[in-house]
Amino acid sequence: MTLEVTEWNITTGCERLTPGCDNCPTYWDAKEKGLDYHPRFYPERLGIPTANNIPTAYMVSAGSDLFHEAIRVEEIEAVFNVMARATQHHFEVITKRIERMETLSARHLTWPSNVMAGVTIEEAKYKWRLDCLRGIDARRFVSFGPMTGRVGKVDLTGIEVAGVVVEQWGKPRPVKQKWVDEIHKQCDASNVRIARQHWLTQGAA
């Protein structure tokens, strides 16, 4: 089933965490427009998914990070309560702050089958994030990108979907095709589905 794809920006804003953030198009767009980019939660947007009867794939907090430290636990819990009720939809929650996602998942959160937990890995030194992701009882995906270097050999155990993101905005950093091919070959060997975009909608519950 092909789902309509859209964003559910229940939060906006973020802060630089790694060099992978340097060309973030959402940040630069906000800066050009003179908009506030500090993390912010919008409780008035909680009802958006449940008001939508058309099965949809939602990227949660696209261009932001639901697990930023500025977002309170009770706010994150409210988001998960909505996703659990909106069973007609598919949700993807991706973070660079995987340690907080893992900790809160163990203590406060239950991941419904229509929600996928994801992490970004820009280059080899961030592969440890996959170990944290595997510590979460959820369907899991990984986005290799925006690539800032070679990832190399990676353990894809427990990963359902993987994608590669190459910068196409601002001043893109060079990416070697062999880095991408290396990831794709490992996905094939591990029976991990390859998504060519951020949106990972096939197989949505």
Average pLDDT of span 121-125 = 94
pLDDT value at residue 196: 61
Q: What is the pLDDT of residues 39-94, one digit of tens each?
A: 999 999 999 999 999 999 999 998 899 999 999 999 999 999 999 999 999 999 99
pLDDT at 199 over 50: no
Mean pLDDT over each residue of the chain, to the nearest integer? 88
Three-state SS annotation for the chain: CCCEEEEECCEECCCCCCHHHCCCHHHHHHHHHCCCCCCEECHHHCCCCCCCCCCEEEEECCCCCCCCCCCCHHHHHHHHHHHHHCCCCEEEEEECCHHHHHHHHHHCCCCCCCEEEEEECCCHHHCCHHHHHHCCCCEEEEEECCCCCCCCCCCCCCCCEEEECCCCCCCCCCCCHHHHHHHHHHHHHCCCEEECCCCCCCCCC
Average pLDDT of span 95-119 = 97
pLDDT value at residue 205: 26
pLDDT value at residue 34: 76
**13 or 126, greater pLDDT:** 126
pLDDT at 25 over 70: no
Average pLDDT of span 176-188 = 93
Could you tell me the pTM of the whole model? 0.88
pLDDT value at residue 97: 95
**115 or 198, greater pLDDT:** 115
